[in-house]
Structure 1
Amino acid sequence: MNIFLRELKANFKSLLIWSVIIALMIMMAVAKFSAFAGDPEMLKMLDSMPPALLDALSMSAFNLTTLSGFYGIMFIYFGLMSAIAAAMWGSDIISKEERDRTVEFSLVLPVSRSRVVTAKALAALVNCIAFVLITWAVTLVAVRSYQPDQAFYDFLALEMQAMLALELIFLAIGLLLGCAMKQYKRSGSTAIAIILTTYFMSIISGMQEGLDFLKYFTPFKYFDAGELLRTGKMDGAYLILSAAIIVVCVAAAYWMYNKRDLYI
């Protein structure tokens, strides 16, 4: 319990910084939406863009003059930011003990390595949940002047669930990297590289039908905002695949952390 509370306190500043960034992004997005709101003429600017690019960015699935449509476009950026934050929390919360030379203190505590990982992972999970709730709350405040309908609130709730699912996937990946990599300094950069690679894979998979198979390798396609808006639910097969990734990564993280030599 002490480890859990210590990690919450230690990571509060990081949560605050990420929350400020996402809040500013939301306010900028809502301010930009004022130029599109209820103005079909603004849609003509999309006609000059290649259809393949529109499909890759899921822009063809949305009506930018509606709040739901505009927010659907913005979701990929919110998802990308939340994925980076979660992966950094997951990798750093483990590797920082070796980085800061405090791992010896953790090892002399009357707790197992598994309990240390559990406490730290739970603290990172709380950060992820808090980040989603903050994003949700800021959005509700930012868009209230546009008097959203119930359909928007339902879509926003679904987006926030998808955002949390993305966070859990990359939190698990970050946790695995932090526990497994002997070169602890590289765990964070490796996590970012994985995120950016999967993000670009999601774009490429939407540009050519021959590359459609790539969607199974990128979590950003598991929770495509266009599909969420069209179907009103998350795909069950992708949820199972997401759960499998999380379970495998977390299990591997525990196993590797218990086996590896720690840098003191």
Structure 2
Amino acid sequence: MNMFVHELKAYRKSMLIWTLSLIGIMILFLSLFPGMSKDIDEFTKVLEGYPEGVRKALGIELESIGTLLGFYSYIFMYITLCGAIQAMILGTSIVSKEVREKTADFLLTKPVTRTQIMTSKLMAAVVSLAVTNVLYLIAANLMAVQMKTEDYSGKLFFMISLTLLFIQLIFLAIGIIVSVVFPKIKAVLSVSLGTVFAFFVIGMLVAAGDDGAKRYLSPFKYFDPKLIIESSKYEASYLAAAIGIIIVSIAVSYAVYRKKDVHAV
């Protein structure tokens, strides 16, 4: 428990910065909605000039961009990008920071198992992401109520917003396995940005073409806001894929970490 609290305190500052950043981006974008919705005809004509593939890659749906949920779906793609970076940095730092700060040997001499160490770190990271999402959800709902120009489904708004947590958990799990397999990572930010942007670009390329099974290649495409709005549910196959990635990544991370030699230098 002391290790969990220590890790939680260590993540406190970055969690606050990322939370405020996500909320700030959301407020900035949503504040543009009332003005855009008033001139939606002209705005749509401009968007029609873009090739269909480009519109799909950018997450723009001409039929719904003038509604709050449609506009939010568009800007949410960039919010999830930032959220994924936060989660990836958290995951990649879990083991590598001990090696980087040369405290791994000291930590492993304590009367705790490696499983307990990993569990404490993982729980602290998950709680940090959960707090970020709770605060974001509260701020997003308050902002949506202020910016709406017509009634919208609060349930669908919540379902779309909740996918931020799902995507963050996926990248947290990916970051953890990277941290365990390559514990001597010195440039955590570079690795995290490279990985997240790679998946993001893949997602854009997949969206620009015929999605199909290629959507499995990018976690960013597992939860399509357009389909959530149309069906009021998540796609079971992609939800299962997300859960599978999280479980397998964490299970492998535990297995490797328990057996792997961890050096402080």
Q: TM-score range by the shorter chain?
A: over 0.9
- The answer for the alignment partner of 1:177 in structure 2 is 178
Task: Summarize the Cα distance change of 1:220–1:104 in structure 2 as closer, same or farther, 3 Å threshold.
Answer: same
CA shift in 2, pair 1:103/1:54, >3 Å:
same
Q: Matched residue pairs, number? A: 263
Distance 1:83 1:217 in 2: 15
- TM-score, reference length from structure 1: 0.93
The one-letter code matched in structure 2 to 1:190 is V
SS in 1 for 2:8: helix
2:57 aligns with 56
Corresponding residue for residue 40 of structure 1:
40
CA–CA distance in structure 1, aligned partners of residues 4 and 81 of structure 2: 26
Separation in 1 of the partners of 2:116 and 2:26?
37
Structure 1 residue 214: Cα displacement:
2.4
Report if aligned partners of 1:38, 1:66 keep a CA contact under 8 Å in 2: no
Mind listing any 5+ residue stretches in structure 1 that lack a counterpart? none
1:112 is aligned to: 113
The answer to whether structure 1 residue 85 and structure 2 residue 110 are counterparts is: no
1:70 pairs with 2:71: yes
3-state DSSP class of the match of 1:223? coil
- Unaligned 5+ residue runs, structure 2? none
Runs of 4+ in 1 over 4 A off after TM superposition: 147-150
Say if 1:67 and 1:152, in contact at 8 Å, map to a contact too: no
1:191 and 2:160 are equivalent in the alignment:
no
Match of 1:18 in 2: 18
1:262 alignment counterpart? 262
Which residue is 2:225 aligned to? 225
Distance in 2 (CA, whole Å) between partners of 1:114 and 1:188 is: 26
Secondary structure of the residue aligned to 1:14 is helix
Report if aligned partners of 1:92, 1:188 keep a CA contact under 8 Å in 2.
no
Q: 1:97 to 1:240 in 2, by over 3 A?
A: same
CA distance in 2, matches of 1:93, 1:150: 43
The 2-side partners of 1:138 and 1:213 are apart by 35
Deviates more, 1:7-16 or 1:177-186: 177-186
CA distance in 2, matches of 1:147, 1:236: 30
TM-score under structure 2 length normalisation: 0.93
In structure 2, give the amino acid aligned to 1:195.
Answer: V
1:172 CA displacement: 0.5
**2:201 corresponds to which residue?**
200
Match of 1:94 in 2: 95
Report 1:120-131 matches (<5 A): 120-131=121-132
Cα RMSD of the aligned pairs, angstroms, is 1.8
User: Match of 1:252?
Assistant: 252
| Contact 2:44 2:62 (C-alpha < 8 Å) held by counterparts | no
Say if 2:59 and 2:77, in contact at 8 Å, map to a contact too: no
**Does the aligned pair in 2 maintain the 1:201–1:218 contact within 8 Å?**
yes
Give the structure 2 partner of residue 236 of structure 1: 236
Distance 1:94 1:62, change over 3 A: farther
Shift of 1:213: 3.8
1:138: Cα distance to partner?
Answer: 1.2
1:227 Cα offset (Å): 1.4
Could you say which residue in structure 2 is the equivalent of 1:30? 30
Structure 1 window deviating more from structure 2 (30-39 vs 228-237): it is: 30-39
Written as runs of structure 1 = structure 2, the 5 A alignment for 1:138-153 is 138-147=139-148, 151-153=152-154
Percent identical pairs in the alignment equals 29
Give the letter for the 1:243 counterpart. I
